Structure 1
Amino acid sequence: MTSQKDQRRHAIAELEELADLPLSAAQIFRRADEVLRPVLGYDGVCWHGTDPATGLVTSVLTDDLRLEDFRHAVELEIRTEDVTQFADLRRGGLVADSLTRATRGRPGDSRRFREQIAPAGFGDELRALFEAAGAAWGCAAFMRAPDRGAYRVGEVALARRAARSLGTALRHSQMRAAGSPAGGHPPAVLLLDSRNRVVRADDRAEVLLGEISDDAVGVFEVPTSLLMAVEQARAAKAAAGAPPRLRVRTHAGAWLVLNTSIMGCGADHLAAVVITPANADDVLPVVFATYGLTAREREVAVQVLRGRDTREIARALSLKPLTVQDHLKSVFTKAGVRSRRDLVAGLVASRVPEILD
């Protein structure tokens, strides 16, 4: 009979193999579900894709949970303070934690537990962030029925190991994803009412909604990324702050940016969303994260994209030419190329827009 330790070790080995397979993010999530459900012991899971640079959720995938409850989950995540929220986990450097552990055995102290988890018939929740190379590639919430008891220390530790493996697999998936140009199109504009229903949309926006659609569309009429952008904008307005720019990738691989503004207040307010092709400042952090470049290596890579030779890069960054060459060798190795020309070609294939001086 296989021991629990061996089962967990085998599960991690299977997850590590996903990085070498030509899988989409959705395929990685479904395979991870098959591997983790027996050893982690959960009864429901919600998988999310994220904007790698900000960690904001851009998609949802679940076969176990009611998507009708997702909007309230978004509101709780963005507009209230609670334990083990994804943003707090990332700021705290935790890749996984359970609700029971975070509340010291009092999950009822969590508003999310009282309003969503317990009414849905679950007794504990374990959240995990899938990070790699300094970027967030996805996240998940694993729900457990009350009769299983709370997640134990060993299970949280297993989730943390699994999270790192899945972060690597998702990063590699992004590296392999073929892109199609997003440029050459004017901005797309649409208006949503206070219940996130589309009131008006131009022709381009109608097309793009289909290109970034996910499971949430069947319930909310709009993709998760759009829902998150609007809710983030509402929260920012309430706090007199600026809403974040949300990056999202189309099914064809092109990067877009969602910019949202809230017009009016109360029940009759509208949310205006402008969807534009991502520019270099939007895309480069993501592409460099997929390669796993350090901060200095990213600076050198940008100089290469600007067409500068080794001496010019050395002057621009106050480095010795030999140091620049060392950084370039590391960049080439991580990007899987042999020359500057190959590096630029790879970035063009990733749909990085023209970089201006």
Structure 2
Amino acid sequence: MSAAHTGVMSTVAELGAEISERVGRWVPHDGYLLVGLDPVTGAGCFLAEENAYGPSAKRELEIEEAASGPSPWRTPGPVLRLGPDATVRHGPQVRSAMAADGFGAALRVAVRWGELVLLRGHGRSFTTAESAAVERLVTPLADRVRRFVTDNPLHPVHHSPPGVVVVNSADEITTSTPSARAALRALTSSGNLLDPIRNITHLARQAPTLSRLPTPTGWLALHAERTAPAPDTDVVITIQPAAGTVLLPAVAAWYGITPAERTIIEQALQGLPGKQIARRLHLSPHTVNDHFKSIYRKTHVHSREELLAGLG
């Protein structure tokens, strides 16, 4: 699953189709979802799907996940079979919604940067041998998802007014600004504007949540928070370009920026020149320059100016 750096981000749909095709050589499936996760907060940051769950099943899945805590199914291993003959089953609401969509079994694959869900119709369960086959692919799958982001250089941040979306307790968008609708349309291939924010909406019902989303034109930051203490109240989501200290933790995780390199970037974001950074951190200017060279190599930029433009 290797690919040369082209400097151009493929679409999420292309990534999903590629992974589905490659995994399908070992484990045929009728549909799939590929979810990217913010590596710091664990909130969804991109989604690709084909012949997958409908809105009702997606909502029931989010409710079930929220009720059971943070992904408890991942504890025993990276692959989980769900279905009539599996040791783990979804709750009745999820099973009913899946059945309405024509699905009877799922195979969930956790990778460092997200999750792949393979789906089969009624009467076609996944086997233990297929689970083992997919488990052998976890590492290359994780690498491919990561390279979807890191094969691309940091794009300059285009500052623009934030967009706002309000989602009610029934998972319906009740209010949205034009800029928010435009952003959401660019983030989904399903046509359902709730899909890119469904996960962060449910996470926000527990606590304020942040996700940083990579897009071909730069990073977006989604902040979600409920309007009142009760969990069944509206959730307000703000969508705006991600920059500075908001963006840096996610970029550092995706691009493999070390703690020492991240400290250098934090100083640079304050506008400090290299010599002053060296004095403040008790390093030699040569060491600081070496850190910058490593950062440029990892983020595919060529200068401090390009780096700071990409981080806003």
TM-score bucket (shorter structure): 0.7 to 0.9
Contact 1:205–1:275 (CA under 8 A) maintained in structure 2: yes
Task: Report whether the alignment pairs 1:188 with 2:163.
Answer: yes
Look up the equivalent residue of 2:166 and give its one-letter code: L
Structure 1: distance between partners of 2:157 and 2:293: 28
Output the aligned Cα RMSD. Answer: 3.6
Query: Structure 2: which 5+ residue stretches go unaligned?
Result: none
Q: Which residue of 2 aligns with 1:36?
A: 23
Structure 2: distance between partners of 1:63 and 1:195: 24
How many pairs are equivalent?
A: 305
Query: Structure 1: which 5+ residue stretches go unaligned?
Result: 1-14, 237-241
Look up the equivalent residue of 2:91 and give its one-letter code: R
Q: Which residue of 1 aligns with 2:107?
A: 125
1:331 to 289, 295, 298: 295
What SS class does the counterpart of residue 40 from structure 1 fall into? coil
Contact 1:335–1:343 (CA under 8 A) maintained in structure 2: no
Change (3 A) 1:75 1:50: same
Q: Following TM superposition, by how much is the alpha carbon of 1:149 offset from its aligned partner in structure 2, in angstroms?
A: 4.6
Structure 2: distance between partners of 1:254 and 1:298: 18
Structure 2: distance between partners of 1:93 and 1:301: 37
Q: Following TM superposition, by how much is the alpha carbon of 1:264 offset from its aligned partner in structure 2, in angstroms?
A: 6.8
Q: Following TM superposition, by how much is the alpha carbon of 1:52 offset from its aligned partner in structure 2, in angstroms?
A: 4.1
Look up the equivalent residue of 2:169 and give its one-letter code: S
Task: Report whether the alignment pairs 1:74 with 2:52.
Answer: no
What SS class does the counterpart of residue 42 from structure 1 fall into? coil
Change (3 A) 1:253 1:40: same
Structure 1: distance between partners of 2:296 and 2:241: 27
Look up the equivalent residue of 2:265 and give its one-letter code: A
Q: Following TM superposition, by how much is the alpha carbon of 1:46 offset from its aligned partner in structure 2, in angstroms?
A: 1.0
Q: Which residue of 1 aligns with 2:80?
A: 98
1:49 to 33, 36, 40: 36
Q: Which residue of 2 aligns with 1:12?
A: none
Q: Which residue of 1 aligns with 2:280?
A: 316
Q: Which residue of 2 aligns with 1:233?
A: 204
Look up the equivalent residue of 1:111 and give its one-letter code: G
Q: Following TM superposition, by how much is the alpha carbon of 1:280 offset from its aligned partner in structure 2, in angstroms?
A: 0.9
Change (3 A) 1:264 1:126: closer
Percent of pairs identical after alignment? 19
TM-score normalized with structure 2 length: 0.79
CA offsets, 1:57-76, max 9 Å, x none? Answer: 13432222232321112222
Look up the equivalent residue of 1:76 and give its one-letter code: E
Q: Which residue of 2 aligns with 1:7?
A: none
1:94-173 paired onto structure 2 within 5 Å = 96-99=78-81, 106-108=87-89, 110-111=90-91, 120-129=102-111, 131=112, 136=113, 138-144=114-120, 147=124, 149-152=126-129, 154-173=132-151
1:137-286 paired onto structure 2 within 5 Å = 138-144=114-120, 147=124, 149-152=126-129, 154-173=132-151, 175-176=152-153, 178=155, 181=158, 183-185=159-161, 187-212=162-187, 214-218=188-192, 222-234=193-205, 236=206, 242-249=207-214, 252-263=217-228, 265=230, 269-286=233-250
What SS class does the counterpart of residue 104 from structure 2 fall into? coil
CA offsets, 1:291-337, max 9 Å, x none? Answer: 32111111123323444344422332233444434433432333345
What SS class does the counterpart of residue 235 from structure 2 fall into? strand
Contact 1:211–1:251 (CA under 8 A) maintained in structure 2: no
CA offsets, 1:134-179, max 9 Å, x none? Answer: xx3x421123565565232641432313323313421334x24755
Change (3 A) 1:244 1:310: same
RCO comparison, higher one (Cα < 8 Å, 6+): 2
CA offsets, 1:82-141, max 9 Å, x none? Answer: 8xx3x864xx696x32237xxx96224x53885666775434513132x4xxxx3x4211
Q: Following TM superposition, by how much is the alpha carbon of 1:265 offset from its aligned partner in structure 2, in angstroms?
A: 4.3
Structure 2: distance between partners of 1:324 and 1:115: 58
CA offsets, 1:12-44, max 9 Å, x none? Answer: xxx212765842332122122222202233333
What SS class does the counterpart of residue 171 from structure 2 fall into? coil
Q: Which residue of 2 aligns with 1:24?
A: 11
What SS class does the counterpart of residue 17 from structure 1 fall into? coil
Change (3 A) 1:204 1:34: closer
TM-score normalized with structure 1 length: 0.70
Contact 2:34–2:116 (CA under 8 A) maintained in structure 1: yes
CA offsets, 1:221-241, max 9 Å, x none? Answer: x3323222221122x1xxxxx
Change (3 A) 1:336 1:191: closer
Q: Following TM superposition, by how much is the alpha carbon of 1:216 offset from its aligned partner in structure 2, in angstroms?
A: 4.8
